[in-house]
Amino acid sequence: MLSTLKTIALLGLGFMAFTARAELPADYKMVLLTENFPPFNMAVDDKNFARDDGIDGINAEIVREMFKRAGIKYSLTLRFPWDRLYKLTQDKPNYGLFSTTFTPERQPLFKWVGPLAKTGWVLLAAPGSNLTVKSLKDAGQYTIGAYKNDAVSQHLESQGLAPVNALRDQENVKKLTSGKIDLWATTDPVGRYLAKQEGVTGLNTVLRFNEAELYLALNKDTPDEVVQRLQKALDEMRSEGFLDEMTNNYL
């Protein structure tokens, strides 16, 4: 009798697990948002709006493959400013945003899948500049340009600094070379990539002050089943060398 009850219980658990996965509707679809953040995600035509196949980059390729393996439908849109995309993802169920830097402060605001890639935060000076700083505190005496609501800018503000925030990180290239800002707080290698697009090379890395990881951030109401499928697919891709291959293709 006990054996029979145990069998029924196990079958029940199995059925519950099956139905939990089946609760995700066949037509379930996520809305994915991204921005121009080369070489991780960017518009093919370099404009500030693109959809689906008009978007490429290291993390764009990784996310596409991840959703394919997880069997989850999605739409993908690139636009700006980041500030608007960030708020939309917080407010809208089934929305996701990448490449989002994971921080302890942001952790409770989203559900997370990743990491997609690793990167660093830097202070850059104009070509030929002799400016040197030993710490962020030391950098506080200078005018620092950053990207509004980006993790780098948020970190500077949390440290008591007051960066001059731009709606597009590319704007900081001209600000730096024209002397409107003394330092540019950005992500490496993104900053150097953006500067090169603007025809500027030879920027000096004055300070590297943080290592960071880029994730897919999902609205908090995203079903756990979705998060688990995506993370499982990403872990498999990493073990197969897919992430390294994509990175090498772009850098």
Residue with the bigger pLDDT between 26 and 16: it is: 26
Percent share of the chain, pLDDT over 90: 82
Give dist(CA 108, CA 52) in Å, integer.
Answer: 29
- The structural architecture, per CATH, of the domain 27-118+214-250 is 3-Layer(aba) Sandwich (3.40)
Mean pLDDT across 19-44: 85
Whole-number Cα distances in Å, 46 to 79, 192, 196, 203: 11, 16, 13, 22
Transcribe 165-181 into DSSP letters: EESSTTHHHHHHHHTS-
Tell me the per-residue pLDDT of 209-229, one tens digit each, with 9 for 90 and over.
999 899 999 999 999 999 999
| Extents of the domains making up the chain | 27-118+214-250, 120-212
In this predicted structure, the answer to whether residue 184 has a pLDDT above a threshold of 60 is yes
CATH 3.40.190.10 is the classification of domain 120-212? yes
Tell me the per-residue pLDDT of 72-100, one tens digit each, with 9 for 90 and over.
999 999 999 999 999 999 999 999 999 99
pTM above 0.75, yes or no: no
Percent share of the chain, pLDDT over 70: 91
In this predicted structure, the answer to whether residue 158 has a pLDDT above a threshold of 60 is yes
Match 């990403």 to its residue by tokens: 234
Q: Residue 33: its pLDDT value, please?
A: 98
Q: Residue 2: its pLDDT value, please?
A: 38
Report whether the peptide linkage leading into residue 158 is cis, meaning its omega lies within 30 degrees of zero.
no
178 contacts: CB under 8 Å, gap ≥ 6: none
Transcribe 128-154 into DSSP letters: T-----SSHHHHTTS-EEEETT-HHHH
Parallel, antiparallel, or unpaired for β 111-125 and 204-218? antiparallel
Would 27-118+214-250 and 120-212 be classified into the same CATH topology?
Answer: yes
Give dist(CA 40, CA 119) in Å, integer.
Answer: 10
